[in-house]
A and B are shown apart, each in its own frame.
Chain A
């Protein structure tokens, strides 16, 4: 068994198929509507050209895939503690990753990889440009072995003799398992925003591409528009909204199941192994000390059902890799209950976080949002309403808006607090989803405090803690207390010299 990866080796030969398919999918995705257009507009004779064109693309992408396979090698340089990847068809590229810069190693499997029986492996680094390495096809044992090697750099360092560990991951019992029923609950109660965005994006593309198709078919657009507006009565609008809501819920459910099906968390040496996914299985191994911000949130429904959503945020630098939906950097664990949360927190933070001294914001917290979100828009609306008779009947709505607005801002004020003890900083906030963000003082990168001159007299000021995974704000606190806290955290960061990752 060669499982020390010290010699350069290629991916599995199936990688050719995966790589070829990957390029093909990319090309097809980019030119999908072009193809449809071509089909519609084309006369019969040029059909053969199209087929040959498609075949040529297929052929070329597999030739590329073969060359890619030949040139793609990787190995582990034990002395320098580096993982080296050689790649590039025409130009030689060498990617060198220092092992201690690795944030996490993902083992994924998409449908094609599942059919062939290989795994993909992705390495996320903390490099300034977020460059990543992905190996598209290796078999299971190699994948897990490599993952373990990449993350257990201390073990490779030579102190422990290399024990042959083959798939000992499977023997370990998961300490957290999310059942299908819980996922159902999660799908019904959370992440509406993301699903809504997805739906909007979907409708946008449908309308945009549909218009192009209509142009291609030379269908009269006005005709469609008039029939559509003819159909819009109040009843149909309500039905439409109801349908949309149901679709939204279904999308939410499907998304939740697709992403988090059979979510399990296992402890593996000093790392955590997360695995989930319905069709494409995803395995992620992270070491707890790389987690920068731990967050759990809960809304009213979830509280009644005794479940919370957790997310573990890791360091991200600069622009996220080509907008890859932040996959690597935030790990979501939906639907765990209180005991599971506590266990997970203990694992990541090495002890259960206790709320220490709690600091609450001053009542001036309410001023700005009430003025800009309520008083200003409502007064503009009222001025409009008294001048335009058509708007007048809606004045009642303005008052309802004002009252709910005041209530929401007041709730957010009551929830906004930060609690500090020796080992943890816990920031609570939210209106509907109440979230708790937990950081350890040694994760602080920089601290900013600021104060408006008109708050000097009343001793009110603001605080931002910069971490590698975003900022944590505490607004309108007692400035003397904030300054004292800052001095204390600076002392902790500078005195302990603990590393942040």
Chain B
């Protein structure tokens, strides 16, 4: 299809290309932090239950209570701190031609998926997400596990509109090809 349009080869000024690093990113919805907290609380609740059962009923464990309890508490604090940090660092943006996602606690990594490389889109809603009307969007490319984007904590209305927008774009991309073939 590129053969139809006359070939032009103008010099590109690299300085004037749109810069992905200057895009204003959207943060996940504040309610998503609550979901992370709920998940963490469930995890540590179960762990705590198991530990306390061991501490109460197994004699050998009672002696070690001196360090097991502080380690448990320290883990809770560390996890909440790390997840808070990671929550703060996440951000996403949808541009006309690609989707950006930024994340990472220590190393800040930005993944960019051009829309014309998206293979399929998934919109997930968990139990807790549904309570807060949030959803998570996954964009898959042919790049395998590493080249895919998973954005959680988007308000469900916005997630759906992003999905529809992307699907529309995908259709537009595919249509000209099928037209030339038929």
| Chain A contacts to B: CB under 8 angstroms | 81, 126, 157, 315-318, 444-453, 464, 466-468, 470-471, 483-484, 486-488, 490-491, 493-494, 496-501
Please indicate the chain A residues that have their CB under 8 angstroms from the CB of B111 in the complex.
Answer: 446-448
Contact of A317 among B20, B104, B142, B181 (CB under 8 A): B142
Question: 5 tightest CB-CB pairs across the interface, nearest first?
Answer: A466-B147, A466-B143, A450-B109, A445-B143, A494-B97
- Segment touching A, from B10-18, B27-35, B58-66: B10-18
B122 located at the interface, meaning its Cβ lies under 8 Å from any Cβ of chain A in the complex: no
Contact of B142 among A453, A490, A500 (CB under 8 A): A500
Please give me the residue from chain B that is nearest to A483 by CB atom: B21
Please indicate the chain A residues that have their CB under 8 angstroms from the CB of B106 in the complex.
Answer: 452-453
Distance A464 CA – B114 CA, assembled complex (angstroms): 15
Distance A494 CA – B21 CA, assembled complex (angstroms): 17
Distance A484 CA – B19 CA, assembled complex (angstroms): 8
Q: Let me know if A487 and B142 touch, CB within 8 A.
A: no
Please indicate the chain A residues that have their CB under 8 angstroms from the CB of B18 in the complex.
Answer: 487, 491
B144 located at the interface, meaning its Cβ lies under 8 Å from any Cβ of chain A in the complex: yes
Contact of B146 among A466, A487, A498 (CB under 8 A): A466
Please give me the residue from chain B that is nearest to A497 by CB atom: B116
Q: Let me know if B2 and A446 touch, CB within 8 A.
A: no
A466 and B141 in contact (CB under 8 A), knowing A450-B104, A497-B2? yes
B173 located at the interface, meaning its Cβ lies under 8 Å from any Cβ of chain A in the complex: yes
Please indicate the chain A residues that have their CB under 8 angstroms from the CB of B115 in the complex.
Answer: 494
Distance A466 CA – B146 CA, assembled complex (angstroms): 7
Distance A470 CA – B14 CA, assembled complex (angstroms): 27
Distance A491 CA – B11 CA, assembled complex (angstroms): 13
Q: Show 30 residue pairs from A and B whose CB-CB distance is below 8 angstroms, ordered by the A residue.
A: A157-B181, A317-B142, A445-B147, A446-B117, A446-B141, A448-B110, A448-B111, A448-B112, A452-B106, A452-B107, A453-B107, A464-B146, A466-B143, A468-B143, A470-B144, A471-B143, A471-B146, A471-B147, A484-B14, A486-B20, A487-B18, A487-B20, A490-B97, A490-B98, A490-B114, A491-B12, A494-B115, A497-B1, A497-B173, A498-B2
B148 located at the interface, meaning its Cβ lies under 8 Å from any Cβ of chain A in the complex: yes
Please indicate the chain A residues that have their CB under 8 angstroms from the CB of B114 in the complex.
Answer: 444, 446, 490, 493-494
Q: Let me know if B117 and A444 touch, CB within 8 A.
A: yes
Q: How many A-B residue pairs have CB under 8 A?
A: 105
B137 located at the interface, meaning its Cβ lies under 8 Å from any Cβ of chain A in the complex: no
Distance A452 CA – B108 CA, assembled complex (angstroms): 7
A447 and B112 in contact (CB under 8 A), knowing A487-B19, A498-B2? yes
Q: Let me know if B108 and A466 touch, CB within 8 A.
A: no
Nearest CB of B to A174, in Å: 30
Nearest CB of B to A166, in Å: 28
Q: Let me know if A491 and B17 touch, CB within 8 A.
A: yes
Q: Let me know if B19 and A446 touch, CB within 8 A.
A: no
Given A444-B114, A484-B14, A486-B112: 4 more A-B contacts, CB < 8 Å:
A449-B109, A488-B17, A490-B114, A499-B177
Q: Let me know if A453 and B108 touch, CB within 8 A.
A: yes
Please indicate the chain A residues that have their CB under 8 angstroms from the CB of B146 in the complex.
Answer: 448, 464, 466, 471
A445 and B109 in contact (CB under 8 A), knowing A487-B17, A500-B142? no
Please give me the residue from chain B that is nearest to A486 by CB atom: B20
B154 located at the interface, meaning its Cβ lies under 8 Å from any Cβ of chain A in the complex: no
Q: Indicate with 1 or 0, residue by residue over B144-182, a CB within 8 angstroms of chain A CB atoms.
A: 101111000000000000000000000001000100010
B134 located at the interface, meaning its Cβ lies under 8 Å from any Cβ of chain A in the complex: no
Distance A468 CA – B146 CA, assembled complex (angstroms): 10
Q: Let me know if A496 and B2 touch, CB within 8 A.
A: yes
Nearest CB of B to A404, in Å: 30
Q: Let me know if A490 and B147 touch, CB within 8 A.
A: no
Please indicate the chain B residues that have their CB under 8 angstroms from the CB of A316 in the complex.
Answer: 144
Distance A467 CA – B141 CA, assembled complex (angstroms): 9
Contact of A449 among B17, B110, B116, B181 (CB under 8 A): B110
Q: Let me know if B141 and A483 touch, CB within 8 A.
A: no
Distance A453 CA – B181 CA, assembled complex (angstroms): 50
Q: Indicate with 1 or 0, residue by residue over B62-79, a CB within 8 angstroms of chain A CB atoms.
A: 000000000000000000
Please indicate the chain B residues that have their CB under 8 angstroms from the CB of A315 in the complex.
Answer: 142
Please indicate the chain A residues that have their CB under 8 angstroms from the CB of B98 in the complex.
Answer: 490, 494
Distance A450 CA – B102 CA, assembled complex (angstroms): 9
Please indicate the chain B residues that have their CB under 8 angstroms from the CB of A318 in the complex.
Answer: 144
Nearest CB of A to B14, in Å: 6
